[in-house]
């Protein structure tokens, strides 16, 4: 079965409900960016898994968390692609939000508290994680447009906000796991 249908050649995409919307519709922009975040996390996972040869289990233990987040982002995308609350699809809810919050808090406990801004850099895995965080933040901004238009996306917005926090902390933890110290931003006169 081919995924190529040619039905998007007219500048529109089909939502799960069958409705066709323009490719620049705010809802499509939002779930397109969520898809991009999934891909960015795939890159982080590739870097994390490349440490398998180096035997760094502290880093390799991130893979199950990152995989779960990728799976959760499919739920976010399905929720965004199905604005009709009567249609039965997986939805973002309090459990997903609490799990991400728990992971954020767990990872943060192991890190030195921040006293200044840090550069989003370091190891390959951490740098990719910081980039994935910025993609999630863009998705969050795009979902906030939907909220501003009166659409019911509150849980999605909260989830993406917590996920952005988690990915920032995960980037720091990935660096720490490989002995890289956060580079702080120096204030220049």
Residue 21's DSSP bridge partners are 13
pLDDT of 2 = 64
In a domain? residue 67: yes
Domain that residue 136 falls in = 20-177
- As for how many domains the chain has, the answer is 1
Q: Is the pLDDT of residue 72 over 80?
A: yes
Q: Please state, in angstroms and rounded to a whole number, the distance separating the CA atoms of residues 23 and 13.
A: 6
Q: How many CB atoms lie under 10 A from the CB of residue 87?
A: 13
Residue closest to 146 by CA, chosen among 66, 61, 29 = 29
Q: Is 5 part of a structural domain of the chain?
A: no
DSSP output for the chain: --S---GGGGSEEE-TTS-EEETTSHHHHHHHHHHHHHHHHHHHHHHHHHGGGGT-HHHHTHHHHHHHHHHHHHHHHHHHT---TTS------HHHHHHHHHHHHHHHHTSPPPSS-B-S-SSHHHHHHHHHHHHHHHHHHHHHHHHHTT---HHHHHHHHHHHHHHHHHHHHHHHHTTPPPPBPPP--
CA distances from 56 to 49, 59, 62, 109, 132 (A): 10, 6, 11, 20, 22
Mean pLDDT estimate for the chain: 88
The pLDDT tens digits of the residues spanning 75-126 come to 999 999 988 888 999 999 999 999 999 999 999 998 999 888 999 999 999 9
Is 132 inside a domain boundary? yes
Residue 120 lies in a domain: yes
In a domain, 186, yes or no: no
Please give the residue that has the higher pLDDT: either 4 or 172: 172
Q: What is the model's pLDDT at position 189?
A: 47
Q: Which CATH number does the domain housing residue 166 bear?
A: 1.20.1200.10
Q: pLDDT value at position 153? A: 87
Q: Does a structural domain hold residue 49? A: yes
The answer to the question of residue 121 being in a domain is yes
Question: Phi/psi zone of residue 150: left (φ > 0), alpha (ψ -120 to 50 degrees), beta?
Answer: left
Does residue 46 belong to any structural domain of this protein?
Answer: yes
């Amino acid at each position: 079965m081919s995924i190529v249908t040619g039905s998007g050649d007219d500048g529109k995409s089909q939502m799960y409900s069958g409705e066709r919307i323009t490719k620049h519709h705010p809802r499509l922009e939002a779930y397109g960016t969520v898809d991009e975040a999934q891909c960015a996390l795939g890159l982080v996972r590739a870097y994390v898994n490349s440490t398998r040869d180096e035997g760094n289990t502290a880093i390799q233990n991130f893979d199950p968390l990152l995989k779960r987040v990728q799976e959760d982002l499919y739920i976010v995308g399905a929720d965004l692609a199905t604005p009709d609350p009567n249609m039965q699809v997986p939805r973002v809810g309090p459990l997903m939000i609490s799990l991400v919050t728990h992971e954020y808090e767990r990872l943060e406990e192991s890190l030195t508290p921040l006293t200044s801004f840090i550069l989003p850099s370091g190891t390959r895995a951490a740098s990719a994680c910081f980039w994935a965080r910025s993609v999630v933040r863009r998705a969050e901004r795009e979902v906030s447009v939907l909220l501003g238009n009166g659409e019911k996306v509150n849980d999605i917005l909260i989830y993406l906000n917590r996920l952005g926090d988690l990915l920032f902390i995960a980037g720091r933890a990935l660096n720490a796991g490989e002995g890289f110290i956060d580079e702080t931003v120096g204030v220049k006169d």
